[in-house]
Amino acid sequence: MPLVDMHDMLHHAHRNGYAVGGFDLVGLDFLEAIVEAGERCRSPLVLSLAESHFEHFDFGIAMAATEYAAQRATVPVAIHLDHGASPASALRAVNLGCNGVMVDASHRPFAENVALTRQVVEMARGCGVAVEGELGYVAGVEGEDAAKHPGEVVYTAPDEAARFAEETGVDCLAVSIGTVHGRMKGTPRLDFERLAAINEAVGRPLVIHGGTGLSDDDFRRLIAHGTAKINYFTALADAAGACIRDHAQRAPEAGYTGLHHGVRTAIAAEVERCMRLWGSAGRADEVLAECRPWRPVEHVIFYNVKGIGDDQVEAMAARGREVLATIPGVRRVYTGRAVQHGAQYRFSWVVRFAHENVIATYRDHPEHVAFADDWFRPVAGDRVTIDFSGIDQVGAPGDGAGAR
Ligand code: 13P
């Protein structure tokens, strides 16, 4: 249940002078470690899945596990697509359960970045999903040496940042003030004055990418100037890597589980260190009390048909499952037939919406309108339709991270 609205979560951090970690995960060890650390120090957290990492895991399978872990957590969690490559990536992420999405068009000219980001914001608004845009360019690649990817850092200009936020309507903005993705050589030179000016001009939560390698003092100053989310990956991957290398040296015959022993603990320790340093530790209960919970809606229809046989009902349902699942915010389309013979209604649709906003998006979407008018309504006059907002109980009581 503790999935919370990401817009609210980041605004809470921005208002209260702390930053939430956007921790990229590339497997179950990462997922479990991040949630475990959050529960240990009662911190809100963002579970981030970066599109550039999709070559390492199946996004759909990872999302199922991530959503389950988030629902079972006792601290507030948001699930975010990090560095989405296109509006289609953002749509896929929303329909798989992300309640925050980033589409990174920061390498494009300003006007194109605005147009692409605005397109994503329009889709996401209709689904209640928060959007992160990026202006300026943060070089490097997560998990690698920044020196290997020496792309030019492009600093964010405060006046452009204000225009970008206004014209796109993003919920939070990633900015470039001297950080790089991946391992840094030497001491980073961060432009805090620029960050302060951006914060003043933009007036909404700022995001810093490339958290690895910054000093405690850097983090404090970033947060003092409006940073409400810090993206962090390489240091977690390095902690995991060090642990595996250590096992490989001590026990060269070790297999997969032997090599991975302790990886989760090593990642969790680093995540917890960040949560305490960034001030998010101890904020979980406030966030749960003050931020809107993230709840799906079940759009339920019971119906009987007239004018077609039962075999034609399945053809109609198959068509519906195919087209309706592509509408933004539709998580799942379930079509059913009554088990009991004498049931008052013989057939059902249960369409899961990501969020209450999807009720209107779905109703007015051309694919839905066409399907309803051409296929469904002419034969299903006898029907009842109700939208239910609810809570999914996942796992047995006590089956949470604390129980491990
Ligand atoms: P680091 O890998 O440098 O921590 O950066 C992570 C990041 O910014 C992900 O978006």
Same structural domain, 263 and 152: yes
- The domain that holds 376 is classified in CATH as 3.30.70.100
Tell me, yes or no, whether 377 lies in a domain: yes
Selecting among 82, 104, 171, 218, the annotated active-site residue is 82
Q: What does 295-332 look like in DSSP terms, one character per residue?
A: --EEEEEEEE-SSS-HHHHHHHHHHHHHHHTTSTTEEE
From 82, 137, 142, mutation site for ligand 1 pocket: most ligand atoms within 8 A of C-beta: 142
Ligand 1 atom at minimal distance to the Cα of residue 82: 10
Per-residue pLDDT of 325-351, as tens digits, reads 999 999 999 999 999 999 999 999 999
Confidence of residue 362 (pLDDT cuts 50, 70, 90): very high
Structural domain count, the chain: 2
Same structural domain, 372 and 356: yes
Percent of the chain with pLDDT strictly greater than 90:
88
Q: What is the mean predicted confidence (pLDDT) over 108-137?
A: 97
Per-residue pLDDT of 82-114, as tens digits, reads 999 999 999 999 999 999 999 999 999 999 999
Q: Residue 22 phi/psi, 5° resolution?
A: -100, 95
Same structural domain, 103 and 185: yes
Ligand 1 atom at minimal distance to the Cα of residue 237: 2
Q: What are the tokens at 216? A: 């405690």
SS3 160: helix
Q: What are the tokens at 86? A: 């296109």
Looking at residue 297, its pLDDT comes to: 97
47, 387, 392 from 195: Cα distances, Å: 25, 44, 40
Rounded Cα–Cα distance for residues 216 and 211 (Å): 11
* Atom 1 (ligand 1) nearest CA: 210
Tell me, yes or no, whether 396 lies in a domain: no
Same structural domain, 272 and 341: no
82 given a catalytic annotation: yes
Same structural domain, 307 and 335: yes
Task: Pick the last residue of a domain from 235, 265, 290.
Answer: 290
Looking at residue 172, its pLDDT comes to: 98
Looking at residue 404, its pLDDT comes to: 47
Whether 397 has a pLDDT exceeding 60, the answer reads no
Whether 142 has a pLDDT exceeding 90, the answer reads no
Whether 189 has a pLDDT exceeding 90, the answer reads no
Q: Buried (b) or exposed (e) across 75-113, using 16+ Cβ within 10 A?
A: bbbbbbbbbbeebebbbbbbbbbbbbbbbbbbeeeeeeb
Tell me, yes or no, whether 401 lies in a domain: no
Same structural domain, 79 and 108: yes
Confidence of residue 187 (pLDDT cuts 50, 70, 90): confident
CB 102 within 8 A of CB 48: no
Task: Pick the last residue of a domain from 259, 290, 321.
Answer: 290
CB 82 within 8 A of CB 60: no
Same structural domain, 264 and 306: no
Tell me, yes or no, whether 42 lies in a domain: yes
- The domain that holds 277 is classified in CATH as 3.20.20.70
Rg over CA atoms, the chain: 23
Confidence of residue 402 (pLDDT cuts 50, 70, 90): very low
Domain carrying residue 341: 297-389
Same structural domain, 32 and 66: yes
Same structural domain, 262 and 360: no
Nearest to 213 by CA among 240, 250, 182: 182
Whether 358 has a pLDDT exceeding 80, the answer reads yes
Whether 403 has a pLDDT exceeding 50, the answer reads no
Looking at residue 398, its pLDDT comes to: 58
Whether 276 has a pLDDT exceeding 80, the answer reads yes
Same structural domain, 307 and 259: no
Q: What is the mean predicted confidence (pLDDT) over 31-47?
A: 98
Looking at residue 188, its pLDDT comes to: 81
Tell me, yes or no, whether 395 lies in a domain: no
The CB of 272 under 6 Å from ligand 1? The reply is no
For the chain, the first-to-last Cα distance in angstroms comes to 19
Tell me, yes or no, whether 50 lies in a domain: yes
* Atom 9 (ligand 1) nearest CA: 231
Nearest to 1 by CA among 334, 380, 389: 389
Tell me, yes or no, whether 402 lies in a domain: no
Confidence of residue 392 (pLDDT cuts 50, 70, 90): confident
- What's the gap in Å between 234 CA and the centre of ligand 1? 6
Same structural domain, 252 and 306: no
Rounded Cα–Cα distance for residues 321 and 197 (Å): 49
Per-residue pLDDT of 193-243, as tens digits, reads 999 999 999 999 999 999 999 999 999 999 999 999 999 999 999 999 999
CB 379 within 8 A of CB 306: yes
- What's the gap in Å between 304 CA and the centre of ligand 1? 53
Q: What is the mean predicted confidence (pLDDT) over 145-173?
A: 87
Average pLDDT of the chain to the nearest whole number:
94
Task: Pick the last residue of a domain from 258, 290, 322.
Answer: 290
Place of tokens 């077609």: 308
Same structural domain, 172 and 278: yes
Tell me, yes or no, whether 36 lies in a domain: yes
